[in-house]
Amino acid sequence: MTGDPGDTSGPTTASPRRKPAGPERVNTPGGRRALDQVVILKAAVDFIDQHGRERLTMRRLGATLGVEAMALYRYVPGRDELLDGVVEVVMDELYTMTIGRGRPATWQEFLQQLAHGVRAISMEHPKIFPLVASRPPAAPWLRPPLRSLRWVEGFLEGLEHYGFGGTESVRIYRSFSTFLLGHLLLESAVYAVEPRTLPAADLEFVESSDLALYPRLMALSPQLSLDNFDNEFEDSLEEMIQRVSVAD
């Protein structure tokens, strides 16, 4: 293509073509890939695992992925939706580990499989597990800590497979949820705790933090400090299954 006939400077130079705008590429543990919602949510899970929920912001998450925070908003509207997505990612991981594994021979083994899977998730994501229990559910009458519609449906379907009726299945679901809530929220809270930096003068409002004032507590501190969660979990799980067997 030539320029204007009155222009004696020769042919014009065409502007270089711009590549069509597409998804930004980011660094992930599996290598570079296009930015999308799945990448963002999995990065948010990793961020909370490492730094805690309170430090999660769109800006910090964007910096982790090497993009501006505004790039994230194209896929996740805001922080609340981001946290909802984090819960869904973890619950999907749990579903694959438990319901998705297939059903064992007996209902007792089924409950053990589910309980051990939930505990594994709570230990793998101790800073996220309390969030799983506290996020508003789609069905408010489902009990914490597991209120995923798909997971509870799989749980009830499994009990039906083993011959339990609707009323029995609800009773088992409630017992199972109460058992998990009591044990796993406590255990995950222990593993998720972050070191507390005390100010130079720690304030005391109702009770003193001087351990010398609590002789019984200090005398039993060696026993109180023992980590016996494994045995306590297995014993309580066995007791819960035994109660179900007796009531059956």
pLDDT at 73 over 90: yes
| 66 within some domain | yes
* Nearest alpha carbon to residue 241 among 116, 132, 97: 116
How much is the average pLDDT of 210-238? 77
Which of 57, 76, 95 represents a domain boundary (last residue)?
Answer: 76
Residues 163 and 100 placed together within one structural domain of the fold: yes
Task: State the average pLDDT over residues 175-179.
Answer: 88
Same domain, 99 and 155: yes
Report how many domains make up the chain. 2
Judge if 94 and 183 occupy the same domain: yes
Which residue range(s) make up the domain with 54?
Answer: 24-76
Q: Are residues 91 and 71 part of one domain?
A: no
pTM (predicted TM-score)? 0.72
Residue 210 lies in a domain: no
Q: Indicate if the pLDDT at residue 225 is higher than 90.
A: no
Rounded average pLDDT over 129-146: 81
Q: Are residues 108 and 134 in the same domain?
A: yes
Q: Is the pLDDT of residue 177 over 80?
A: yes
> Would residue 42 count as lying in a domain?
yes
Residues 6+ apart with CB under 8 A from 80: none
Query: What is the mean pLDDT of the segment spanning 143-163?
Result: 89
Reply yes or no on whether the pLDDT at 107 is more than 70. yes
Please check whether residue 217 lies inside any domain of the structure. no
How far apart, in whole angstroms, are the C-alpha atoms of residue 33 and residue 236? Answer: 45
What's the rounded mean pLDDT across residues 13-36? 60
Give the pLDDT of residue 244: 86
Residue 228 lies in a domain: no
d(C-alpha 9, C-alpha 5), whole Å: 10
In a domain, residue 128? The reply is yes
For residue 144, the model assigns a pLDDT of 78
Whole-number Å distance between alpha carbons of 25 and 49: 23
Mean pLDDT of all residues belonging to the chain? 81
Question: What number is the average pLDDT over the span 52-80?
Answer: 92
CATH of the domain at 163: 1.10.357.10
136-161 mean pLDDT: 86
Q: Domain check: are 118 and 60 in the same one?
A: no
